[in-house]
Structure 1
Amino acid sequence: MAPWGDAKLLFSCILLIACCCTVTVAEIPMDCCLTVRNATVPKHRVADYRKQNAGEGCSISAMILLTRRGVKLCVPVDAPWLTEVVNHIHTVREHCKKQNFKGKRCFGVKP
């Protein structure tokens, strides 16, 4: 076989491996809410939150609340009580930042 034939075979193998790795990385599962529960969550139990947007790997839009004990709760984004909970989380974060995460109020709060 000619030297160019070996180079083409090597390039083809590298290209095949790169394509397989790309497909594998693209299939990383996401932690999505499949349903939401429209029950009020007491603000003192919530330590953190994040927003889930529909079309960005998940099928529905939701707010994921993380309790101080590490439980994830899925609630609707447009819940009227949610703004009060989010404001409370920001207030607690600022307080805990000043206290260097010490005290009962800062239990489970992420910086």
Structure 2
Amino acid sequence: MELARSMAFFALLALSLWSFPPASGSNDALDCCLRTSQVPIPRKIVLDYAVQRIHDGCPIHAVVFITMRGKQLCAPPHAHWVRRLKDRLDSVYQSKDNLWSK
């Protein structure tokens, strides 16, 4: 009886440890912009961009431009130069998509 009780305890312990993720060692934190820069970013250094939204868990709404060197530069989404740079990047990728689909 005692052996069965011990086995059940260890099985329950193993199951509980297996089903809960570890408290440390995992990095589920988002890489968010905390502020944006008003300085325009030159088109020639930008490869792509992503939009950061508040409802995704970040503190501010921003456009994150990815440079050729892999840096992430945060910009205000409603600035005129940001919208223009996004449009240029979109048109470049749109034209590349059209070439591949032919």
Is 1:88 matched up with 2:88?
yes
Q: CA deviation at 1:38?
A: 0.9
Q: Check 1:47–1:35 CA distance in 2 against 1; reply closer, same or farther (3 A cut).
A: same
Judge which range, 55-64 or 22-31, deviates more: 22-31
Q: Which amino acid aligns with 2:19?
A: A
In 2: Cα distance, 1:24 partner to 1:89 partner: 39
CA RMSD of superposed structures (Å) = 2.6
Following TM superposition, by how much is the alpha carbon of 1:43 offset from its aligned partner in structure 2, in angstroms?
3.0
The residue that corresponds to 1:18 in the other structure is 19
Structure 1 pair 25–50 and aligned structure 2 pair: CA distance change class (3 A)? farther
SS at match of 2:31: coil
Tell me the amino acid that sits aligned with residue 50 of structure 2.
R
Q: TM-score, normalised by structure 2?
A: 0.72
Query: Is residue 83 of structure 2 the alignment partner of residue 79 of structure 1?
Result: no
CA contact (8 A) 2:77 2:83 kept: no
Q: Go from structure 1 to structure 2 and tell me whether the alpha carbon gap of 1:91 and 1:8 turns closer, same or farther (over 3 Å shift).
A: same
Provide the secondary structure at the position in 1 that maps to 2:83.
Answer: helix
Paired residue total: 98
TM-score, normalised with respect to structure 1: 0.68
- 1:88 is displaced (CA, Å) by 0.8
SS of the residue 1:73 aligns to: strand
- Give the conservation status (yes or no) of the 8 Å contact 2:51–2:63: yes
* Structure 2 segments unaligned to the other structure (5+ residues): none
